A and B are shown apart, each in its own frame.
Chain A
Amino acid sequence: MTETFAPATKFAVPGRIAVSNRAAAVWQTATLTEIRRETPHAATFRFAVPDWGGHLPGQHLMLRLRAEDGYVAQRHYSIASHPDDAGHVELTLDHVEGGEVSGWFHTVAEPGDQVEVRGPLSGFFAWPGDRPALLLGAGSGVVPLMSMLRQHRARNLSVPLRLLVSARSPEELIYAREYGAETTAVFTRSAPEGVPVGRMAAAHVAPLLAEPPAGGWEAYVCGSNGFAEHASRLLVEAGQPVDRIRIERFG
């Protein structure tokens, strides 16, 4: 028996997105060139990576730090910058309580420091800019979605894109100054005057699915597991097909 096995799937593999196995296997030196504060707990770290082979919005990389005794810590991080930012990548990191890697970034790192990265990795959550994109993110889960939004702007794409982003408060909304008419912000703890406080709800999602663009939405959900479960259920209940929802969960 040599036929190919394909089980009945309700869950699509985006075969149109090619992943470079070579790029994923090679560690490169990344030099920190700039640190921008985004919120009291999050900052953007800009790196020069001269041989970076490019990425698609939504992809991530693996980053590693090495201590003097040889101890190594490595983590996956979503890429925040858009692909046309040649030779550079940006990461936006939360300062995680007790986090050994995010702790180094937020308390030690300064321009000129070098770390190592490999990638881009995984094509599943990527958005090549070819289909209408409905993006739902919470907290630092907005990072890979911002790469998509930035590409949409940088390339003047006409394909529809909408972003629903959830944050605890306006002060904690990452990239607050960059959002435009495509974005709706939802605040769970405190909001500007006149804006209700509460979780992302059917009322935010339903109107977008009541009048979907031609061909329907490709939905991308990114955030904590609790948010991912909640937001993906809202999408399914509003009629979004499960095989057109991609989820990236931040453990």
Chain B
Amino acid sequence: MHVTRGFTGRPRVPDAGLPPGQYDAGDDWPVLSAEVTPDLAPADWTFRVDGLVAEPRTWNWTQAHELPSSAYEGDIHCVTSWSKFGVRFGGVSLDAFLNVVRPHVSATHVVAYSHTGYTTNLPLDDVTGGRAWIAWEYDGKPLPAEHGGPARLLVPHLYFWKSAKWIAGLRLLDHDEPGFWEQNGYHGRGNPWEEQRYSGD
């Protein structure tokens, strides 16, 4: 890679929290979704977990809120190269939902899908063990619709296209199945620390 003549970049202090190729978006939180923002009221929101599980289950807004609440405070990283530090989300750990449906031992992956039909694939290990949430609050307030409200998936250790907005459900599978962006050229897993942006990275 050659040096770009006359390019210095913005003043920088090394930040251990910034994955390679990312910049700090500061107070900005860009909206990136390819579809029309749906008009989805909490009363109409449902979340289903099925596939390779002992007891498939659908929760409505009230039932989901009866599960123990769980917060995430930390960083998020978008494949378009911005990162955002110290964000706070409130919701429920995905573990709480999975404990109810009891995954089969043969389950290895999930496909997360939204109320708009968006899909994204994840290894089951990436959404268990306290690493993923169903989030409905941002910074103590209801999650805005354009950021996936009333509820979105939150998998902060992967690029943010994995954190499906307007989450409608998870299906557990015994194989990996590329989702919307993965079929459109993006990486299968999306680990920001390994710069897994595009298929082939």
Contacts and interface: CB of A to CB of B under 8 A. Distances in A.
B173 A7 contact: no
A225 interface: yes
Given A7-B119, A25-B198, A249-B32, A76 B10 contact: no
Contacts, number: 153
Interface stretch (A115-123, A151-159, A160-168, A203-211): A115-123
B108 to A, nearest CB: 11
B112 to A, nearest CB: 10
In which size bucket is the chain B interface?
Answer: 35 or more
Interface in B136-188: 146, 168-169, 171, 173-175, 177, 180-181, 183-186
A7 B198 contact: no
Contacts of A98: 10
Given A74-B81, A123-B184, A5 B7 contact: no
A249 B116 contact: no
A242 to B, nearest CB: 5
Interface string B12-37: 10000000010101001011111111
A247 B34 contact: yes
In which size bucket is the chain A interface?
Answer: 35 or more
A72 interface: yes
A13 B35 CA distance: 11
B35 A247 contact: yes
B39 to A, nearest CB: 9
Given A5-B111, A100-B9, A249 B117 contact: no
B69 interface: no
Interface of A: 1-2, 4-5, 7-13, 15, 19, 21-22, 24-25, 27, 29, 62, 64-68, 71-76, 98, 100, 104, 108-109, 113-116, 118, 121-125, 225, 228-229, 232-233, 235-236, 242-243, 245-249, 251
